[in-house]
Amino acid sequence: MIEIEELTKVYDGNTVVDRVSLTVPEGTVAAIVGTSGSGKTTLLRMINRLVEPTSGSVRIGGQDTRAIPPHELRRQIGYVIQGYGLFPHRTVAENIATVPQLLGWDRDRIARRVDELMEIFQLDPAQYRDRFPSELSGGQQQRVGVARALAAEPKILLMDEPFGALDPIIRTKARDDLMEIQKKFRTTIIIVTHDMDEAIQLGDRIAVMQEGRVLQWDTPTGILLDPAHDFVAELVGVRDRPFRLLSLQPVRDAVEEGDASGPPVTEDTSLRDAFAEMLWSGRRALPVVSRANKRLGRLTLEGISRRAARLQ
Ligand SMILES: Nc1ncnc2c1ncn2[C@@H]1O[C@H](COP(=O)(O)OP(=O)(O)OP(=O)(O)O)[C@@H](O)[C@H]1O
């Protein structure tokens, strides 16, 4: 658990983070969203003490981070930034091995861990281990950046706009991969983004920041249904709200009995994506299958709109 209490940063008389208090339970994802300059990065960097707080405290697993030497703290916490921050003159394997090497792991253990992570991130070790970052695509560099941050099995991962430089299709895939890895390792993640859709997709809870303050700290549904502030409502966008709500609901929740023709959707697909598929393929109903490809029923356009209306 990460307990942030009254955390404040003042630069030259300007309060850029203002008495922020948040508790992030272990194994959950917190998204920090807000406009440029609202203090998101500064808040994130105070957690691993890349920025020293002016006042307030951060406790991790009950321990005040001021009691931990900063370099040790940063080894315990994975950190991913936009642009991935890879060392250009080190190979992929050397980049991923950075923290395990600092921790003095033996060579075999490091080599095993590097291969394991490369496989998880779908980078064939034989092909990519000895490449340099400049010999990778943006999406591959991003995966190496996350793999490096996870190398020493940190319980906490801080991510600052990690997907900002990726094109939309790769970004969606990178988010899905991250969620899978998060579930597998139960990593506690705090992710900074200026993209509300990203916050909604990734966050168990979302902190909306403006001018150094957290205006609302709530679940995605809470933020969408009950914005606590005009600025939050504006960020959510009234017209986009039904679509964003649908993006939180899996098809599974709206399956009906009956048949439909054409290619099926799986039960995990979001209602928003299923709705898009209906519009795109001109169908008013889609067959629904389980992950194991077992027929479960169908999803209808009427079912989706009832669902969207009920949610509002
Ligand atoms: N080292 C510093 N010295 C002085 N002011 C700073 C420093 N770092 C950040 N600031 C100021 O603090 C405010 C918050 O910056 P921060 O980078 O935390 O915002 P942000 O929400 O992450 O913005 P962005 O989305 O643009 O990255 C800004 O006004 C910035 O100019």
Contacts of 181 (CB under 8 A, 6+ apart): 120, 146, 150, 187
Sign of CA dihedral 164, 170, 176, 177: negative
Sign of CA dihedral 39, 40, 45, 47: positive
Q: Where are the domains of the chain?
A: 2-237, 243-311
pTM score of the predicted model: 0.83
Question: Does residue 311 carry a pLDDT above 60?
Answer: no
List pLDDT tens digits, range 198-236: 899 899 999 999 999 999 999 998 898 888 999 998 888
Give the Å distance between the CA of 37 and the centre of ligand 1: 5
Atom of ligand 1 nearest to the CA of 212: 14
Atom of ligand 1 nearest to the CA of 44: 18
Q: Is the domain defined by 243-311 classed in CATH 3.90.1280.20?
A: yes
Closest CA to 196 of 26, 33, 71, 61: 33
How much is the ipTM here?
Answer: 0.96
CA contacts within 13 A on the Cβ side of 270 = 15
Atom of ligand 1 nearest to the CA of 43: 18
Give the Å distance between the CA of 260 and the centre of ligand 1: 52
Q: What would be the CATH architecture of the domain defined by 2-237?
A: 3-Layer(aba) Sandwich (3.40)
List pLDDT tens digits, range 103-114: 889 999 999 999
Tokens of 200: 């909604």
For 179, counting Cβ atoms within 10 Å of its Cβ (0-12 exposed, 13-18 middle, 19+ buried), the class is middle
